Amino acid sequence: MIAVESLTKRYGNLVAVDELSFEVGAGQIVAYLGPNGAGKTTTLRILLGLASPSKAVGAVLDRPQFHPDRRGRDHLRVLSMAAGLPASRADEVLELVDLGGAGHRRVREYSLGMRQRLSIAGALLGRPPALVLDEPANGLDPKGHRWLRDLLRDQRADGAAILIASHHIPEIQQIVDEAVIVSHGRAVAKGRLADLTAAPTTVVHVRCSDPERLTRTLTDHGIDAELMTAGTVIARNSPATTVGQLAMQQGIAIHEMETEDRTLEDVFLELTGTRRAGP
Amino acid sequence: MIGRTIRSELLKLRTTRTAAWLLVASVLLSAAVTALIAAATSAAELEAAAGVRSVLSQGGLAAGILALILGIVASAGEYRHGTITPTLLVTPDRRRVALAQVIACGLAGLALGAAGAAATALVGLAWLEARGIDLGLSGAQTVAIFLGGIVFAGLSGALGSALGSLLANQVVAVALALLVLFVLEPVLTGLIDGYQRYSLVGMRTAIIGGSAQMAGDPEGGLPPFWLAVTLWTGCTAALIVAVTAVARRRDIT
């Protein structure tokens, strides 16, 4: 489990992290999102004991870097030795991250994606119950992204608590259970992914037998409804079930109804005020 | 627990080429400087014990300087390359990490010292023998010079590591060390009577078995070997204390 309780970090007069609290339970993947300068990396480094908090604290694990002249396998052997793990564990995690054939090469010869895999290998060395990953998909190709998702799902299935900070929001939306969104050092939203991306701004697209009458009906019931030129009715801020029930009461046949939920990226852009104005 | 941290630090040193290159450099530089000093010193000067000491202590001196650089590069390099991050994630006790690095660099310094002393012994003794110079030293005194050189290189590696950890910047730490040893201390030795005896240069010369002349002032005196070792170790210990105090509050970015 990873727990952060009333975490605060100041650099002089600048408050980088402000009374931040959240938890990542065992067997759970939580996204930690925020625009540049929101305090994400600061939070993770405090979690890992690499930076000292100005007030209270909490938590655990990993994000390695390398000496360019050292071989990948040797990098892991150094960490294994310091952690009291057998050298064979270095070979195991190299295989786990698909670097088994590259362990003898010096890190300066590694691509960005290979370095990222080596970072992840270092994080997995001690079979940690908690993983803290800052931009873990950096440098990975599409195949690598899929590999990472599968790896993290496996780790979650094994009971690991996983906290991921990333700008690749659509990517991590595919695997996270919950999200914490920070802006200016403060948590502006946190909760289950389904709750964050659901109402209040759900948009329902309806194709039906009488779009004009459905539009009037919805409007009469206080729902923001709009008839589009293609004969589609768009209802905003109302669950699809309500729209469906009102249509049924009026004897209007529904041909097609689609709910346009917000994505995590939408939520992020709205809450952090970074959504660009439309044309 | 600190044993595995030290072994890990030693493995770090063995798995980059820096230490290996410095080991080779220690042999070559020691041999070259020894030959240069032996060739440049007159027979009359070599007949005096101070002259022979000057020749035979060059290996320890050269190895010591290289060990100092190794210690700085190894410890400050952790910050340059960011490897301090995984190091502290595995071993969060920063004092233990700093101490393990100092010990590992000290051991590496001993290896550089042994290589340098061996090179100097081969070149220096052969050169002096070829010129028919009487060493004027007992066997024990001669061995003590070489052992002193090895000890000095070990102590230098440790001091360099502590300095590198404290400053966390390779260039600044190397520049500062060279500035103090080769500029500041000679100036102070010339300005302040009695300074040489307890200066880093004075301690260094005493440990490697050199003469007061090698430290800059023939009349300036040198501390006894045991005191020089104690004082040098004290300097290293003081730096470790400073590292511990600074490292505890240092944010790794």
C-beta of residue A219 within 8 angstroms of C-beta of residue A212:
no
Residue from the list B89, B249, B252 with its beta carbon closest to the beta carbon of A61: B89
Residue B160's pLDDT is what? 96
Which of B4, B15, B22 best tests the A interface by mutation, with the highest count of A CBs <10 A?
Answer: B15
Residue A219 in tokens: 């409007």
Q: Where are the alpha helices (DSSP H) in A53-126?
A: 72-83, 88-96, 112-124
Other CB atoms within 10 A of residue A58 CB: 18
- In this complex, do B81 and A45 lie within 8 Å of one another by their Cβ atoms? no
Is B83 in contact with A122 (Cβ distance < 8 A)? Answer: no
Predicted confidence (pLDDT) at residue A184 exceeds the cutoff of 50: yes
Task: Identify all chain A residues contacting B17, using CB atoms and an 8 Å cutoff.
Answer: 69
Tokens of B241: 């204390």
Do B4 and A81 lie within an 8 Å CB cutoff? Answer: yes
CB-CB contact of B57 with B209 (8 Å): yes
Q: Which residue in chain B has the smallest CA separation from A125?
A: B90
Pick from A263-267, A269-273, B194-198, B226-230 the range whose average pLDDT is largest. Answer: B226-230
Residues B132-146: tens digit of each pLDDT:
888 888 889 999 999
Tens digits of per-residue pLDDT, B86-142?
A: 898 888 888 899 999 999 999 999 999 999 999 999 999 999 888 888 888 888 999
Q: Is the backbone of residue B181 left (phi > 0), alpha (psi -120 to 50) or beta? A: alpha
Inter-chain contact B12–A78, Cβ cutoff 8 Å?
yes
Phi, psi of A5 (to 5 degrees): -130, 115
User: Residue A211: CB partners within 8 Å, gap ≥ 6?
Assistant: A227, A231, A232, A233
pLDDT at A62: 39
Give the residue from A9, A43, A48, A50 with the most B CB atoms within 10 Å of its CB, the best one to mutate. A50
pLDDT digits (tens, 9 = 90+) for A119-178: 889 888 888 888 888 888 888 888 999 999 999 999 999 988 888 888 888 888 888 898
How does DSSP classify residue A71? B
Q: Do B86 and A51 touch (CB under 8 A)?
A: no
Residue B189 and residue B220 in contact, taking contact as beta carbons nearer than 8 Å: yes
Option in A68, A79, A84 nearest B86 (CB): A79
Q: Say what the pLDDT of residue A63 is.
A: 46
pLDDT on residue A263: 79
Mean per-residue pLDDT, B170-188:
92
Are the beta carbons of B18 and A79 separated by less than 8 Å? no
Tell whether the model's pLDDT for residue A103 goes beyond 60. Answer: yes
Higher-confidence residue of A182 and B57: namely B57
- pLDDT at residue A58, rounded to an integer: 27
Mind telling me how many Å the CA of B253 is from chain A's nearest CA? Answer: 8
pLDDT at B178 over 80: yes
Rounded to two decimals, the pTM is 0.80
DSSP codes joined into one string, A126-184: T--SEEEEESTTTT--HHHHHHHHHHHHHHHHTT-EEEEE-S-HHHHHTT-SEEEEEET
Q: What is the pLDDT of residue A59?
A: 28
pLDDT tens per residue across span A34-62: 887 777 888 887 777 666 544 434 223 33
Q: Using beta carbons and an 8 Å cutoff, which residues of A are at the interface with B? A: 45, 48-52, 61-71, 74-75, 77-79, 81-84, 122, 126
| Phi-psi category of residue B91: left, alpha or beta, with phi > 0 → left and psi -120 to 50 → alpha | beta
The residue ranking higher by pLDDT, B71 or B50, is B71
pLDDT of residue A52: 57
Greater pLDDT, B177 or A40: B177
Q: Which residues of A touch B85 (CB under 8 A)?
A: 50, 63-65
The CA radius of gyration of chain B, in Å to the nearest whole number, is 19
A–B CB contacts, 8 A cutoff, strictly below: 77
Cβ atoms of residues A189 and A179 within 8 Å: yes
The whole-number pLDDT of residue A56 equals 34
Greater pLDDT, B158 or A28: B158
Least confident of A23-27, A208-212, A232-236: A23-27
Which of B11, B83, B89, B91 best probes binding to A when mutated, by most A CB atoms within 10 angstroms? B89
How many percent of chain A have pLDDT more than 90?
A: 35
Identify all chain B residues contacting A79, using CB atoms and an 8 Å cutoff: 8, 86, 90
